[in-house]
Amino acid sequence: MTLEWEKLFAGRVSGMSASEIRELLKLIDRPEIISFAGGIPDADHFPSAAIARAYEKVFQSNTGAGGALQYTISEGYTPLRDWLCGYMDRKGVKIAPDEVLITSGSQQALDFLGKLLIGPGDLVAVTKPTYLGALQAFSPYEPTYVSIAMDEEGPVLADLEAALARKPKFLYLVPDFQNPNGTTVSPARREAIVDLCTKAGVPVIEDAAYAELRYEGDFLPSLAAIDAARNGGVPSQVIHCGSFSKTMVPALRVGWVSGPKDVIQRLVLMKQAADLHTSTINQIVLHDVVSEIFDSHVKRLRTVYKERRDTMLAALEEFMPAGVTWTKPQGGMFVWIELPEGLCGTELLARAIKESNVAFVPGAAFFPDRSGRNTIRLSFSATKPERIREGIRRLADLLVRVSA
Ligand code: PMP
Q: What is the mean pLDDT for each group of 10 consecutive residues in the chain (404 residues)?
A: 88 71 76 93 97 95 82 97 97 94 98 97 98 94 96 98 98 98 98 98 98 97 96 91 98 97 97 98 98 98 98 98 97 98 94 96 91 96 97 98 86
User: Which atom belonging to ligand 1 lies closest to the Cα atom of 40?
Assistant: 8
Ligand 1 binding pocket mutation candidate from 176, 179, 222 (most atoms within 8 A of CB): 179
Report the separation in Å between the CA atom of 180 and the middle of ligand 1, taken as the mean of its atom positions: 11
Residue 322 CA, distance from chain mean position: 31
Testing ligand 1's pocket by substitution, the residue of 207, 253, 257, 381 carrying the most ligand atoms inside 8 A of its CB is 207
Q: Are residues 31 and 118 in the same domain?
A: no
Tally of CA atoms within 13 A in the half-sphere of 389 that contains its CB? 7
| Helix/strand/coil for 256 | strand
Q: Is 302 exposed, middle or buried (0-12, 13-18, 19+ CB in 10 A)?
A: middle
The per-residue pLDDT for 65 is: 75
118 and 52 co-located in one domain: yes
Residues 156, 261 within the same domain: yes
Ligand 1 atom closest to the CA of 131, numbered from 1: 3
The H-assigned helical ranges of 68-104 are: 78-90
Q: What is the pLDDT of residue 382?
A: 95
Distance between Cα 107 and ligand 1 center (Å): 6
Q: Is the CB of 256 under 6 A from ligand 1?
A: no
Same domain, 111 and 176: yes
Of all protein residues, whose CA lies closest to atom 11 belonging to ligand 1? Answer: 107
Residues 98 and 206 in one domain: yes
Looking at residue 180, which CATH number applies to its domain?
A: 3.40.640.10
Is 107's C-beta closer than 6 angstroms to any atom of ligand 1?
A: yes
Q: Is the CB of 363 under 6 A from ligand 1?
A: no
Q: Are residues 184 and 247 in the same domain?
A: yes
**Which residue from 46, 126, 245 has its CB within 8 A of the most atoms of ligand 1, so it is best to mutate?**
245
Domain boundary among 293, 319, 340: 293
In short, whether 133's Cβ falls inside 6 Å of ligand 1 is: yes
Are residues 221 and 370 both part of a single domain? Answer: no
Looking at the structure, tell me whether residues 38 and 168 fall in a common domain: no
Q: What is the pTM of this model?
A: 0.96
* Domain end position, chosen among 293, 328, 348: 293
Q: What is the pLDDT of residue 36?
A: 96
Residue 42 C-beta-side C-alpha neighbours within 13 Å: 22
Q: Which 3 state secondary structure label does DSSP give 142?
A: coil
Domain co-membership, 333 together with 279: no
Q: What total of structural domains would you count in the chain?
A: 2
How many Å lie between the centroid of ligand 1 and the Cα of residue 241?
A: 9
Q: Enumerate residues 6+ apart whose C-beta is below 8 A from 273.
A: none
Distance 319 CA to ligand 1 centre (A): 31
Give 275 Cα–ligand 1 centroid separation in angstroms.
Answer: 19
Name the residue range of residue 356's domain.
5-47+296-403
Indicate the top mutation candidate among 131, 246, 286 to test ligand 1's pocket, ranked by most ligand atoms within 8 A of CB.
131
Whole-angstrom Cα distance, residue 107 to residue 392?
30
247 CB near ligand 1 (under 6 Å): no
CATH of the domain at 339: 3.90.1150.10
Residues 186 and 144 grouped into a single domain: yes
Pocket lining: 245 vs ligand 1, CB cutoff 6 Å: yes
Verify that 283 and 178 share a domain, yes or no. yes
Residue 167's nearest CA partner among 118, 130, 122 is 122
With left for phi above 0 and alpha for psi between -120 and 50, is residue 39 left, alpha or beta? left
Q: Is the C-beta atom of 255 inside 6 A of ligand 1?
A: yes
Amino acid at 11: G
For residue 243, how far is its CA from the centre of ligand 1 (angstroms)? Answer: 7
Give the residue whose CA is nearest to atom 13 of ligand 1. Answer: 105
Q: Which of these three, 261, 293, 325, is where a domain ends?
A: 293
For residues 22 and 111, membership in a common domain is answered with no
Q: How far is the CA of 106 from the centre of ligand 1 (A)?
A: 6
Q: Are 178 and 184 contacting, i.e. CB atoms less than 8 angstroms apart?
A: yes
